[in-house]
Structure 1
Amino acid sequence: MKLQHTAAALALLAAFGAQAQDTLVKIGHSGPLSGSQAFSGKDNESGARLAVEELNAKPITVAGKKLKFELLSEDDQGDPKAGMAAAQKLIDKGVRFVVGPYNSGVAIPASRAYNDAGALVATVATNPKLTQQGYQGLYRVNASDTQLGSKMALYAAKELKFKTVAVIDDRTAFGQGVAEEFKKSAKAAGMNVVGHEFTNDKAFDFTAILTKLKTKKVEAIFFGGYAPQAAPMARQMKQLGINAKLLGGDTICTAEMGKLGGDAVGDNVLCSQGGAILDKASAGQAFKAKFKARFKQDADVYAAAYYDATMLYAQAMQKANSTDPAKVQPVISAGSYQGVAGTYAFDAKGDMKQSPVTIFTFKAGQPVALTSY
């Protein structure tokens, strides 16, 4: 009887030993999981979760040990103050690899805390100021406002042949940044910017601003802001009989825009999003199918980028043969990773060397790609 007990105890110890030999890698996610932008935060989180689940299903080995990935997610509410608290929570839990924050207004202050803690950050936040801070472990896995705003302006000038446009921005770090880039490029492309109005990211009534712009007979209004404001803006443009197109950046390139805007959102809305057309990317269709099977809904704007960012970390750990961020960082900075949404290779600032931009419109409430350049 004793022998059986000893054998069982040894087997148990061996099992514990095997588990103890695994190296735990915590991936932190920071994004708006509550409030009006929660649809984006949850979509991003799901992209990272899918990658973590796949990595754990066929474990990779680093320095002779299997890696076990764990996703720790914090709600930063899309708010700079809450974002700093979320960053501190993740740092305190030992997270040294972060995907997010989603909002530029959160990413800019939080990136300092992550940098000071020696954590690496992969974000889709687009404000150019983010990567001008000089943090070596900070990567933008998407086009910046410079690219999103300027490509939208070029499309409006060259393809739509518009001459008279106006700008509205919501005063967030993202909205302001992308609106300024659009304005700059619109003027350079020969368009006349006849107005620049301001609102905020909690507003829902834009009648006064739109009435003012209606008198200027604009052909398009570029809105620097998010879908929860852009959708009622589209409805109010329709009610006021403004036939101008509503243009925007990646944050209005979402199914939520169609859902909130209803019949006021169609081919009158155009938006620019970082990355090539996912349907045309070789791994794009497979990713979309996997995502839908796992989460019972379609992948939205940046699910693929968050999936890619998580996989990028894992591949760099394999190449560095280490899970130490100080050893993983130079591998990411010097290397190139082929992901679902594109090829990730970074310049000295941490911006992507090449990030195509896709212009979308809406059909039956869904964003539909028109062209990439």
Structure 2
Amino acid sequence: MTVKICALPLLVSMTLAWQGSAFAEDILVKIGHVSPLSGPSAHMGKDTEDGARMAIDELNAKSVSIGGKKARFELVAEDDGSDPRQATTAAQKLVDAKVNAVIGHMNSGTTIPASKIYNIAGIPQISPSATNPKYTQQGFNTAFRVVANDGQLGGTLGRYAVQVSQAKTIAVIDDRTSYGQGVADEFIKGATGKSRSVTILPRQYTTDKATDFNAILTAIKGKKPDLVFFGGMDAVGGPMLKQMQQLGLDAKFMGGDGICSTELAKLAGDALGESKIVCAEAGGVEDGMKPGLEKFKGEFSKKFGHAVVLNAPYAYDAVMTVVAAMQKAGSAEPAKYLPELAKIHYKGITGNIAFDEHGDIRDGTLTLYTYKGGKRELIAVTR
């Protein structure tokens, strides 16, 4: 008797088993990202999201392996609207989604409250832009940043205002956010350091959503300041410059990285002036790193159809740094790769990335800019 064996079902079964095994070897790595995608700072929030997305796309194109398994990366993006309450809601959503890491938030005022939620969940968080020192002073081993903090940024601007700009009378305005207050506080410390003779006028306050500054600026104008320092974002700084021009308040204007964007020129119009503004970006590359950053900016513009606004390169580097830590640990599980992240040495497009015991970047750079001909122009990169 001849027994016929049908090979097709067996072959299909073996093929499906092999495919199932191969699929089981792949891992999905969820990278959370939070920034303001609505409200006045949406253009800056979208910038950081696009920077993170560019990194995700590149990682997937490279077929990265973690622990011998091919990793597929997914960006899980949330909008915090620059609002602390919305930020904590977004943070909890990412925790519930079981993300492996978080890049964000953009503002200090949203980063700080959200960091508590990520810390409780044990999920590493790298902010590409939050500069308030309090963020990394909470004792959370999950909190990191890839830019210098306000102590460095505000202090440098304060010293520059007195030593270089030769300001004698300075008006200070902040928007009452964690970022705005923090950078203004540090600016004053830098400007009024030992052996400096400078007068700081009574501090003025606005909000991050204000559009009318006439009362504040009129009060300041009567005191004839040489310089106005604003702690806040470009969406407020631009209109403020316009109203300064309308009131005939002829003073230099200074601010931190919140105003130091390509968008400020559009928001301020001809009130931008020539070399009237000095601002500092919490980061920046020295000569040897410039070609890599310029290459990134060109590819970014081609991919998204708009130029880098401010923080996209830092969001990109934050993603690449956390993935480098996962590869070193051989795992995307937060508890397993967190120790590697804390001691990482990663060469990013924005410079060498390593963290101190608090999660602050070591030897962080600052870049001073002014504006000429409607465009941002480099003054110097400093540490």
Question: TM-score normalised to the size of structure 1?
Answer: 0.96
**Which residue does 1:268 correspond to in 2?**
276
Task: Please list the CA deviations of residues 163-193 of structure 1 after superposition, one character each: whole Å capped at 9, or x if unmatched.
Answer: 2111000101110000011011111143221
Structure 1 gap ranges (5+): none
CA distance in 1, matches of 2:349, 2:219: 43
> 77, 86, 90: which one pairs with 2:90?
86
1:113-262 aligned at under 5 Å gives the runs 113-123=117-127, 124-188=129-193, 189-262=196-269
Amino acid at match of 1:363: K
**Contact 1:237/1:243 (8 A) holds in 2:** yes
SS at match of 1:255: coil
| Residues in 1 aligned to 2:60 and 2:341: alpha-carbon distance in whole angstroms | 21
| Aligned mates of 1:94, 1:27 — CA distance in 2 | 9
Q: Pick the aligned partner of 1:287 from 296, 299, 302.
A: 296
* Alpha-carbon distance change, 4 to 130 in structure 1, aligned in 2, over 3 angstroms: same
* Equivalent in 299, 314, 320 of residue 305 of structure 1: 314
8 Å contact from structure 1 (residues 186, 192) kept in 2? no
Q: What's the secondary structure of 2:359's corresponding residue? A: coil
CA distance in 2, matches of 1:200, 1:33: 19
SS at match of 2:54: helix
Secondary structure of residue in 2 paired with 1:250:
coil
Report if aligned partners of 2:108, 2:131 keep a CA contact under 8 Å in 1. Answer: yes
Distance across 1 between alignment mates of 2:6 and 2:40 = 63
The SS at the match of 2:171 is strand
SS for the counterpart of 1:166 is strand
- 1:75 is matched with 79
CA drift of 1:35 comes to: 1.0
**Letter of the aligned partner of 1:275 in structure 2?**
G
How far off is 1:7 after superposition?
A: 3.6
Q: Is the 8 A contact 2:179 2:232 kept in 1?
A: yes
Separation (CA, whole Å) in 2 of partners of 1:203 and 1:139: 31
Distance 1:8 1:175, change over 3 A: same
Equivalents in 2 of 1:226, 1:63: separation in Å? Answer: 42
2:253 is paired with a residue whose SS is strand
Q: Which runs of 5+ in 2 are unaligned?
A: none
Q: Give me the whole-angstrom Cα distance separating, in 2, the residues matched to 1:206 and 1:319.
A: 51
One-letter code aligned to 2:322: Y
Does structure 1 retain, via aligned residues, the 8 Å contact 2:286–2:381? Answer: no
Distance between the aligned counterparts of 2:300 and 2:373, measured in 1?
21
Q: 2-side partners of 1:329 and 1:282: how far apart?
A: 31
Of the structure 1 ranges 45-54 and 254-263, higher mean CA displacement relative to structure 2 is found in: 254-263
Q: 1:342 to 1:228 in 2, by over 3 A?
A: same
Residue 59 (structure 1) shift: 1.7
Secondary structure in structure 2 of the residue aligned to 1:165 = strand
Q: Answer with 1 or 2: which has the greater Rg.
A: 2
Code of the aligned partner of 1:47: G
1:340 to 322, 337, 349: 349
RMSD: 1.7
CA apart distance, 1:366: 3.1
Q: After TM superposition, give the deviation of residue 365 of structure 1 in Å.
A: 3.4
Equivalenced residue count is 373
1:85 counterpart SS class = helix
Q: Give the whole-Å Cα distance in 1 for the aligned partners of 2:218 and 2:277.
A: 19
Asked if the contact 1:27/1:95 (under 8 Å) is kept, the reply is yes
State the identity as a percent: 45
Mapped contact 2:285–2:365 kept (Cα < 8 A): no
Q: 1:254-279 deviations in whole A, cap 9, x for unaligned?
A: 12211111111132122111112478
Q: Distance in 2 between matches of 1:167 and 1:220?
A: 9
SS of the aligned residue for 1:35 comes to coil
Partner of residue 331 from structure 1, selected from 334, 340, 344: 340
Letter in 1 for 2:343: A
Amino acid at match of 1:59: S
Q: Residues 366 and 2 (structure 1 numbering): CA distance in 2 closer, same or farther, change over 3 Å?
A: farther
Contact map agreement 2:80 2:87 (CA 8 A) in 1: yes
Secondary structure in 2 matching 1:352: coil
User: What TM-score does the superposition give when structure 2 sets the normalisation length?
Assistant: 0.93
Taking structure 1 as reference, are residues 135 and 9 closer, same or farther at Cα in structure 2, changes over 3 Å only? same
- 2-structure distance, mates of 1:148, 1:190: 21
Contact between 1:145 and 1:177, CA under 8 Å: does it hold in 2?
yes
Would the alpha carbon gap of residues 2 and 79 (structure 1) be closer, same or farther in structure 2, given more than 3 Å must change?
farther
